[in-house]
Chains A and B, each alone.
Chain A
């Protein structure tokens, strides 16, 4: 078997992601039977849609099953092979994948046998596992290993010791094989080696697992528990080893913080010791298998902790702790437990549904955010089924004892020994009290009195201040645009439009080292978090000091300094240094070097080495905190960039095994903006003191730039608050909740740093195009230093450079959009002036002197030119052009429609952006123009997404991320929500609209596949596109998108525009599309997926040359945003976020909109001029057809003209690498995705409803339903809106009754006149974007459980619903009614985050609610039955107020809703409440958003005024139901 699993071109193996379906079947009573295995099989087969297949559609990404060792079975089969097994638990069994080369395999097996002997065990024999590989696809077959089982005599070892020894022996063998055979030995893999459990797995689709291993069908093979797993990988590179379950767990989700966890574990390895292992511990190192996946690493560390003595639930609680912030009602002991463990183990953070087993217990746990679903069911005869979905095993309703779900952070265990289910509370109360953690903490945790009390500003005189500001490269612009807003408002500043300044490595200006890094962010495979509305899960707390042995616990473990957040004021450092304590010592090391040394690079290098040595010495002298300081900078000493110094010390100490000995504090003048702090933390700093900013702020106040009346402490506090919020935002973009796991996680990509620099100081960071090294960094520092020291004038004014990074200034940073390029483009399109266009294009394209972009440094490889007239006409080429996604809301109606008209006229496409579209635009204009946008966007807020909207699209675009602010949500403040905007977005004027950072139905790749499926159902035949932003690893995501059945993937550059984003996001997140696009093309081709998916790119595309380069790199479509706005009059004021656009473009102000002077003709001319330019280049290169050009990357080379001291170190070979394509394999779209709607349940419904659809004759249809029937009702809805428009059918026309477990997205987009009645239960996303239909879910009459205590529908119900109603006879999961804007819903209980981001509609809850109810709820109403009178403690009161239900109108409304619920579902709960109505009504709480109340009052006032002048019958405000 050949693993072709290696970095190539821009592709990096470690960027792989996977996610999956996971399931557990167990007999609670511990009775072993083959039926448990059969149930496992059933689960897997029914989760099939959560997995994925490779390009050949036959090769699965992996499937497996882990279960108890079936003694009887092995006894029998071993006897056949002449092996006699000892009694149960006296022996171990290993499941071994081996190399196909027999000699090598023998050698590997010998190593294993020797290792077993070393630990006092004996090999009994090998068994060739019977296989049937005729079921496999080509890719799986090519990499198929040999599969053999080894039987090991425990030689009398006690069961627990046997497990330990088997573990040690396995680790020893793995290590020896790696050492002896290196790369070749990679094919040797121990899937399991245990006396308790065994794992069968491989590169399968679910059904293949059982076909491949005939063992699994053997009735003698029995177990009381089984964990199954189905993998969905973003790639299809063959790997049998990546299949799950692993030895202890099966994981659905992703560990975002892996690199940080890896580094921190490495730091703690040196101190590891355990009685269980004694001297043998060296066999266990490194703990984490090199290059293993995130799940495998997690398995490694969990196994280590368990084998060293902790119970599995305890270890799980250490690694995946619940959030324990003040927002949670948890026991003090539990909080102490978590805090104690936080002092030496950071969370392994990311979405996770984790199933685990040690052979006796089997359990599951969810991450703190509950981002993966996990549903369970217990039958009356003791069977537990737990899986990613409900309904995976068919259980008759009368046998269901309990239905539930795992809640965020909660755990669930079946103990087959105790023969019972143990719930979260019991598990945790036992563990959290097994040691006196609370006392240990109180007595040992170090908290310095006075630290973090009241931060102050610091005083300096202006002269030294100016000098120091210049040494550290401060600019006036930074003071004005970064520092002042933070000090004034405690917020990170916001800006607009994209970044058109050069990358740091292309800039002529001296740049801070920080600028060579770009933040990574989560897209698709894990969701970003909302740090505001879901801030309760986030934490900046950290412990610093000497890290203890993680394999034991003692009171001293937490004897470390507790920091509530990482920003230290100047006096905090002072206090640290002057504290006299025995238990922690502080040492300072100086990060400066001799400014006058002739070879600055050598000087800096030497200083860096000295820095690490000083730190080492300090540790030897007992220091537990090291302060890396640049306070010693002077006329003769230049500063080492703080990031370089920090990373050097961090990695230096890691390499010396000392990093766990100290906390690192950076005391530097350099960091000032959020990105700087994040980088320092990401590369190892535990805390930062930005001392110069505190001095600067004081000076700025003296100067009058900050209000005199502001307290200096307030200023300092605001600044710190802004940085803290910014850090939270940055880590949340990556889906990380705690700074503890972000520290050292290096979640950045370097652009423009050379390999040796990165390897030495930023080990493990991606840097794919080379760039500068220490010499250039030192040159920047020394130049800045010497220029400052020589000339210093004008003390009155801070004589700093302006900067020009954000706003154009002469002598400042360069910008591609400058007065020349803007005015030339406008002249070109306004006067159809070819000469002006040529001048414009020249100004953009010719970057020989001034460099702006990577592509500016590319050149074409000449070809045999063809006559221009033979080249495809411009009118054809423009059909590949699109406008960027800009919502009507971010831009004016006039602008939005102008773009649509222009693009429709030339057969190109415009994009709605997020925010809906007026249905009147679907009717063509009298002159034939159409204002209907061909591309309709679906973003996280789902504003205006209705069945009708979706039905009028040619293409539906899922916006995962946006170039200017990937990983972030957005907010349209209430004052911008005009009546017009509110109508489009189905919301209320004046009510703030929040788009959450994640799509709440996409937490992983298989969720994305589900949304794609939903959208295809909503409009069969539509193309679905997925918009991603370039970053390292985007190619891998794109492959996953291709496998998820998308028709197009859009790779946006980091520099795309925005109506409003934090400046740090505009500047520092994502990478250029040249990198992202090339990587995408390479990975898609490598995976043989390119032929089925179209690739689009955008991000500051401006000219025909840009188009040709993008095509050669692999794009077939092209998006233009800012440039189109410029043709319409935009001159880049960068004031979009102020709504004050004087050109009527990005504003809703009628006075300004009247100034809009753009014309469709301008856009059309621009498109044609660009296409003509592209044609001319095509003719020179010898391409007649545009499509021939796509992916021909060998026609690009690095420009010879580059002679720039920084950029000459760049190496584009990875970009220009042409992927190896197999014979006949396409480099562009040549086929299409498979039609997955064939077996959709709606076809059956449609067949039965044919007459109803034709004549609106009422009908009732009855059908069974299963969890594999997904998105039921969507195709039906599409057919109805196509025929009847958005009004749908008449009320009560079609009633469809379904029995069973419904699949995901039940009733999505359902339109008026249709009622879906589900008798049974449903999975996630019920009623997604409900558009007027009715959904009723009720428990089967025969089911014995109590409805309001059992989960009947999954998470994220009614996401983005606009109208309609839902009655649920049971509890719902997390995020009920998230971003609902009009639907009415009644439910008998909800999980966490109920009514999140809701903007309208009505919710009635007749039972329990989880925490964080109403977070971000800006509109709508909720009535919650609050029997325990504790609702106010669970409700997020930031945006809502609570009141009792006392008005008659409220009472009547509530009574009516509950009565209808009773009528429709027969709910016992409803009956009980209604029977005691006078007593019950007082227990309801009404939740009213503050904004919404004001808006309603305003509208009522307006209504009154209005009704005085018009007949009272006219319905003025249709939103008032």
Chain B
């Protein structure tokens, strides 16, 4: 424990961002890291609780947060870095993009400001890379078992690393040009610069993980081939199907799924794409952009659009505006449904809540206007229903509409259908201890749970790896 009553002595410092004027002109990361002294003070706020909710209730990876804080406080950064890696394969990623449920469940969050956990994690891992503490850990012996991993998002990569370290031969198949999945193609650079992923992939490669990119399993080669060549398969291709908004006018060509919009920008940033007419056509420059969907992806669209030089950005959310402070429905230590403003939203966007889009209208192939109305939510026999409020109709000008409404489920055609895997009501894979209905075929991440946080995906990948390892041991 840092300091008794440290939390009274030191206030929580928030991580600073580059100024809006500066940052909206580039795609580089925003954070201005705290100084080492500031970090030490922040760790001193941690009380090393007898029941650490951050670790026990907040963090899906069960990071040993109090211990990490203590090590940092004692200036034992390398051990902190090792400790972090004991539960988390990619702290540099969660340290950047995790919404930090650990902080929401920090004991101090009950009536004070929580410990600055995520940023401490970020600092620890970045220091680890800088000092060269994070090195490949190739296995001492090889088991000779072969595992195929389909999809290289956080779940797939975590599973791959764990399995490779356990001595198995791991091949990761990725349909895109580079591994990383949504980390690479979904999250904008201003939140996660892609060399961060590359840096980690080098470690994975050095530990023996083989990457086969640009291949679609089930198309480029058959699942039969895969089954024959590998002792087991782990499906971590995420939920490919975005949720659509099937209303009149959906067919206009300037209505895009958020992911399509974000991916292009990410490819532009990395140089996989060069600016072209095609990329130009979906650029938000000088446009009025309407983002439908108030979540994180929506925010990413907002930030990206602003960086394109959009004239105006609107963001619509069908749910009501959340309260400023923690509502009783989500008491501590739960994730609080409160009003949050992302860095992108800060950069300038007009947000509206309780808004339903009823119709797109436009000229020819391009949408110019959204017809919307206000809604209210009513509880009917325990189920929430949305109800239009009469007389609240309004219209919204738009040159570009981005749909950030979440995702429905794993893509069924191809692999999933070929293997005849059992699906749950939501269309995701049914698993038992990470094993699908097909013996030897495992699944993890969003594929199983539906779209969720990166941190959950990492955890899921780790758990699946452990299940696979056990399965391989038993099926020798």
Chain A interface residues (CB < 8 Å from chain B):
476, 497, 703-705, 793-794, 796-797, 802, 806-811, 815, 817-820, 822-823, 826-827, 830-831, 1129, 1131-1135, 1138-1140, 1142-1143, 1149, 1151-1152, 1155, 1157
Given contacts A793-B137, A830-B331, contact A1142 B51 (CB under 8 A): no
Given contacts A809-B64, A819-B333, contact A1142 B108 (CB under 8 A): yes
Besides A1131-B49, A1133-B50, 12 more A-B contacts (Cβ < 8 Å) are A704-B76, A796-B78, A797-B79, A806-B50, A807-B52, A807-B66, A810-B56, A815-B51, A1132-B49, A1134-B49, A1138-B5, A1140-B8
- Check if B51 sits within 8 Å of A817, measured CB to CB: yes
Residue of B nearest to A1154 (CB): B111
Contacts of A1133 in B (CB 8 A): 47, 49-51, 107
Q: Which of B4, B66, B78 has the most CB of A within 10 A?
A: B4
Q: How far is the CB of A495 from chain B (nearest CB, A)?
A: 8
Q: How far is the CB of B45 from chain A (nearest CB, A)?
A: 10
Q: How far is the CB of A493 from chain B (nearest CB, A)?
A: 12
Q: Which of A497, A1142, A1143 contacts B50 (CB 8 A)?
A: A497
7 A-B pairs with least C-beta separation? A1134-B50, A819-B57, A819-B56, A810-B62, A797-B82, A1133-B49, A1132-B51
- Check if B111 sits within 8 Å of A1155, measured CB to CB: yes
Q: Is B376 an interface residue, CB under 8 A from the partner? A: no
- Check if A831 sits within 8 Å of B74, measured CB to CB: no
Residue of A nearest to B87 (CB): A810
- Check if B4 sits within 8 Å of A1140, measured CB to CB: yes
Contacts of A823 in B (CB 8 A): 53, 57, 331-334
- Give Cα A811–Cα B462 distance, bound, in whole angstroms: 15
Given contacts A797-B79, A1142-B107, A1142-B108, contact A807 B333 (CB under 8 A): no
- Give Cα A1321–Cα B436 distance, bound, in whole angstroms: 89
- Give Cα A704–Cα B78 distance, bound, in whole angstroms: 12
Contacts of B52 in A (CB 8 A): 807-809
- Check if A704 sits within 8 Å of B62, measured CB to CB: no
Q: Which of B49, B57, B332 has the most CB of A within 10 A?
A: B49
Residue-wise interface mask of B (37-68) relative to A, using a CB-CB cutoff of 8 A (1 in contact, 0 not): 00000000001111111011100001010110
- Give Cα A693–Cα B51 distance, bound, in whole angstroms: 28
Residue-wise interface mask of B (324-347) relative to A, using a CB-CB cutoff of 8 A (1 in contact, 0 not): 000010011110000000000000
- Give Cα A1157–Cα B4 distance, bound, in whole angstroms: 21
Residue of A nearest to B8 (CB): A1151
- Check if A796 sits within 8 Å of B110, measured CB to CB: no
Contacts of B328 in A (CB 8 A): 831
Please, could you name 26 A-B residue pairs with CB atoms under 8 Å apart, sorted by A? A704-B76, A806-B50, A807-B49, A807-B50, A807-B52, A809-B55, A818-B51, A819-B333, A820-B57, A823-B331, A823-B332, A823-B333, A826-B331, A1131-B51, A1133-B49, A1133-B50, A1134-B51, A1135-B4, A1139-B4, A1140-B47, A1142-B47, A1142-B107, A1149-B5, A1149-B8, A1151-B8, A1155-B111
Residue of B nearest to A807 (CB): B50
- Check if A1142 sits within 8 Å of B111, measured CB to CB: yes
Contacts of B386 in A (CB 8 A): none
Q: Is B7 an interface residue, CB under 8 A from the partner? A: yes
Q: Is B83 an interface residue, CB under 8 A from the partner? A: yes
Given contacts A820-B57, A823-B57, contact A704 B331 (CB under 8 A): no
Contacts of A497 in B (CB 8 A): 50
- Within 1-17 of B, Cβ neighbours of A (below 8 Å) are at 4-5, 7-8
The interface residues of chain A, by DSSP majority, are classed as loop
- Give Cα A826–Cα B111 distance, bound, in whole angstroms: 14
- Check if B7 sits within 8 Å of A794, measured CB to CB: no
Number of A-B contacts (CB under 8 A): 107
- Check if A1142 sits within 8 Å of B110, measured CB to CB: yes
Chain B residues with a Cβ closer than 8 Å to the other chain, count: 39
- Give Cα A815–Cα B75 distance, bound, in whole angstroms: 30
- Check if B79 sits within 8 Å of A819, measured CB to CB: no
- Check if A802 sits within 8 Å of B64, measured CB to CB: yes
- Check if B47 sits within 8 Å of A1135, measured CB to CB: yes
Given contacts A793-B137, A796-B78, contact A831 B5 (CB under 8 A): no
Q: Which of A793, A808, A811 contacts B51 (CB 8 A)?
A: A808
Q: How far is the CB of A1258 from chain B (nearest CB, A)?
A: 56
Q: Which of B4, B50, B64 has the most CB of A within 10 A?
A: B50
Contacts of B105 in A (CB 8 A): 819
Q: How far is the CB of B166 from chain A (nearest CB, A)?
A: 10
- Check if A1142 sits within 8 Å of B57, measured CB to CB: no
Residue of A nearest to B5 (CB): A1140
Residue of A nearest to B76 (CB): A704
Residue of B nearest to A811 (CB): B62
Q: Is B112 an interface residue, CB under 8 A from the partner? A: yes
Contacts of B82 in A (CB 8 A): 794, 796-797
Residue of B nearest to A817 (CB): B51
Given contacts A796-B78, A797-B83, A1142-B7, contact A808 B50 (CB under 8 A): yes
- Give Cα A867–Cα B267 distance, bound, in whole angstroms: 70
Residue of A nearest to B80 (CB): A797
Q: How far is the CB of B8 from chain A (nearest CB, A)?
A: 6
Q: How far is the CB of A809 from chain B (nearest CB, A)?
A: 7
- Check if B8 sits within 8 Å of A1152, measured CB to CB: yes
- Give Cα A136–Cα B461 distance, bound, in whole angstroms: 81
Contacts of B47 in A (CB 8 A): 1133, 1135, 1140, 1142
Residue of A nearest to B3 (CB): A1140
- Check if B79 sits within 8 Å of A796, measured CB to CB: yes
Residue of A nearest to B79 (CB): A797
- Give Cα A705–Cα B71 distance, bound, in whole angstroms: 10
Q: Which of A796, A802, A1131 has the most CB of B within 10 A?
A: A1131
Q: How far is the CB of B36 from chain A (nearest CB, A)?
A: 16
Contacts of B50 in A (CB 8 A): 497, 806-808, 1132-1135
Contacts of B64 in A (CB 8 A): 802, 809
- Give Cα A705–Cα B75 distance, bound, in whole angstroms: 10
Given contacts A808-B56, A810-B56, contact A819 B8 (CB under 8 A): no
- Check if A807 sits within 8 Å of B137, measured CB to CB: no
- Give Cα A826–Cα B62 distance, bound, in whole angstroms: 22
Given contacts A796-B82, A797-B82, contact A1131 B53 (CB under 8 A): yes
Q: Which of A476, A823, A1138 has the most CB of B within 10 A?
A: A823
Q: How far is the CB of B162 from chain A (nearest CB, A)?
A: 13
Given contacts A826-B331, A1142-B7, A1142-B111, contact A819 B78 (CB under 8 A): no
Q: How far is the CB of B53 from chain A (nearest CB, A)?
A: 5
Contacts of B111 in A (CB 8 A): 1142-1143, 1155, 1157
- Give Cα A1155–Cα B111 distance, bound, in whole angstroms: 7
Residue-wise interface mask of B (102-131) relative to A, using a CB-CB cutoff of 8 A (1 in contact, 0 not): 000101101110000000000000000000
Residue of A nearest to B56 (CB): A819
Q: How far is the CB of B334 from chain A (nearest CB, A)?
A: 8
Residue of B nearest to A797 (CB): B82
Contacts of B74 in A (CB 8 A): 704-705
Q: How far is the CB of A814 from chain B (nearest CB, A)?
A: 12
Q: How far is the CB of A658 from chain B (nearest CB, A)?
A: 48
Q: How far is the CB of B80 from chain A (nearest CB, A)?
A: 10
Q: Which of B48, B56, B67 has the most CB of A within 10 A?
A: B56
- Give Cα A810–Cα B459 distance, bound, in whole angstroms: 14
Residue-wise interface mask of B (237-268) relative to A, using a CB-CB cutoff of 8 A (1 in contact, 0 not): 00000000000000000000000000000000
- Give Cα A513–Cα B56 distance, bound, in whole angstroms: 29
- Check if B107 sits within 8 Å of A831, measured CB to CB: no
Residue of B nearest to A1141 (CB): B47
- Give Cα A908–Cα B51 distance, bound, in whole angstroms: 30
Q: Which of B64, B83, B111 has the most CB of A within 10 A?
A: B111
Contacts of A827 in B (CB 8 A): 331
Contacts of A810 in B (CB 8 A): 55-56, 62
Contacts of A793 in B (CB 8 A): 137
Contacts of A1132 in B (CB 8 A): 49-51
- Check if B331 sits within 8 Å of A831, measured CB to CB: yes
- Give Cα A793–Cα B138 distance, bound, in whole angstroms: 11
Q: Which of A705, A817, A1140, A1152 has the most CB of B within 10 A?
A: A1140
Contacts of A811 in B (CB 8 A): 62
